[in-house]
Amino acid sequence: MRSHRARRALETGARRVAMIGTAALLLLTPALAHAEPPAPTTPLPDDLVAAIQRDLGLTPEQYLAKAEAGQKLVAFANELRANFPDTFAGAWLNPSGTPLIGLADGPGADAAREAAQAAGYTVKDLPRSERTLQDQLSQANDWIGTLPAPVAGLVNGAAVDVVNNNLVLRVADTLDVGGLQLPDFLQGAVIALQPTLGSVAPQAVDNGGAPADAMLGGDSYAAENAAGAFRCSLGFNGTDAAGATVNISAGHCDPNRNGGGTAQVFQMTGDGVFGPHIGYFSRTNLEGHDFSIIRVDDAAAYRFQNNLVRVPGRSPLRITGTADPVVGAPVCKSGLTTGFTCGNINAVNQTVDVGSRTLTNGFSANICALQGDSGGTIVTGDRALGISSASNVGDLKFCELASVVTTVLGDTPQLFATPINVILADNPGLTVRTS
C-alpha cells in the first residue's frame, strides 16, 4: 500500500579528509574487550530504561509485558485473519496495553467473536473489515496515480488506520487541502500533514583513530567508495547461509547502492574518526525492502559474534529472539546520533516513498531518529524487530527541536523501518544472533 513520502534516509555522509564539530554526533568510547561481554546486571541497560521512562512513561516491567502481549496478539491475529477474512478488522494494543480485536459484520462474525473472547481478548465492533479497508486503500492508490504532476508530488500516499477503522491521506503541508477534490470513496478519510523535508546532503567526518574490540548493534560505521562515504549505525549481528559472520543494516547506507562495485566498511572509533576496515557489503537491497548484509572480515569476525545492541559505548541489551510489528506495541531504537529513543508502532504493512525508492511491508513508530541513525536496531522488549530506514525529521539536529516542529505542523516525529523477519525471509539461511 502507498503511505507517507518520507524522503529522508538517515545516513550521514563522510569524507576521510574533513573534520566535523556538530553537537548532533554521538561520540564513541572504546568498546567492550571481549566478543561476548558479560551480561548486564539488570534485564535492561540503564540507557534503555531511561528512554522507556522518558518516552513511554513505562517501567521496565511494564515495557517488557506490553511487548510480550504484542507478540502474542500478532500470532492470534494471524490465525483469526486466516480463518475469518471477511470479518477480521484488525488487532492492536490500546495506550494502556490492552490487546483489542476488531470485528465487522460478515460471514463467521459470531464464530470469530467466540474465538477471540475464548482466547481472552476484548472485541471491538467496527464498521469495516480489514479486507474492505485494503480494497479502499487500493482504490486510493490508483486515484493518487492519476493526479496531475503538480499535485501528485504533494500527495504522499494513503494508509490504513487500524485503530480508527479508516483511511488516512497524507499530504505535504504546502498543499491547499480545501482545493483537493477527493473522490466519493475517500470522503470521510482523515487528512494528515507531512512535514516538508529539506536537503539530503551528507555531513563529513575525519580519518584516523584506534580500533575498539567488540562491535554491537547501534555502534557507528562508515561505508566508503571512491566517491565518498556514508556514516550509519550497525544493525543486528548474525550469520549468513554459509555460516559467515555478518551484520544486518540498511541498504541505503551503501555508497554503491545505485551502481556497481563493492563499498568498503570501516569502524568509526571516535569523534568522526575512521578506524580499521571491518568488512564489505555482500548484499544491498533498496527497492521494496531497505536492508544490507555486511560481510565481516575473518580477522574481525570475533568482534561481531555477540547478540548485543546498545547506545555506543554504553551497557548492552541482549537479543533473545525476533518479533513482528503490531500497532500499539512499544518499540525502542538504538543509533549513533540519538542513542535509545522509544515510541509506539502506529502503522504496519506500509509502503513509504523515500526519494526515488519505495519501501514496502514496513512499519512506522512515533520515534525521533536523525541522520546517522540509519541501519540501527529497533527492538520490542528484548527481541529484534526492525532496521531503521527513514525519518520525517532527519534534517533536524535535535529531537527536542523535532518534537516542536512536527507539533506545529500537526504531526509527530516518525521513524520508518523494515521488519527484521521480512529481511530474514528475503535471505534464506540468514539468522540474527540470539541468546
**Short-list 251, 410, 418, 401, CA closest to 324:** 418
Residue 303 phi/psi, 5-degree rounding, is -75, -20
Q: Is 374 considered catalytic here?
A: yes
Cα–Cα distance list, 50 to 108, 304, 306 (Å): 45, 26, 24
The separation between CA 298 and the C-alpha centre of its own chain, rounded to angstroms, equals 29
Q: Of the residues 3, 219, 240, 252, which is catalytic?
A: 252
Find where cell 476488531 sits. 102
Residue 426 among the catalytic residues: no
Q: Which residues of 150-169 are buried (b: 16+ CB within 10 A; e: fewer)?
A: ebeebbbbbbbbbbebbbbb
Max Cα-Cα span within the chain: 68
Given its phi and psi angles, is residue 188 left (phi above 0), alpha (psi -120 to 50 degrees) or beta?
A: left
Catalytic residue among 129, 292, 374, 388: 374
Cell of 23: 553537537
Active site residue 290: yes
d(CA 378, CA 396): 21
* Active site residue ranges: 252, 290, 374
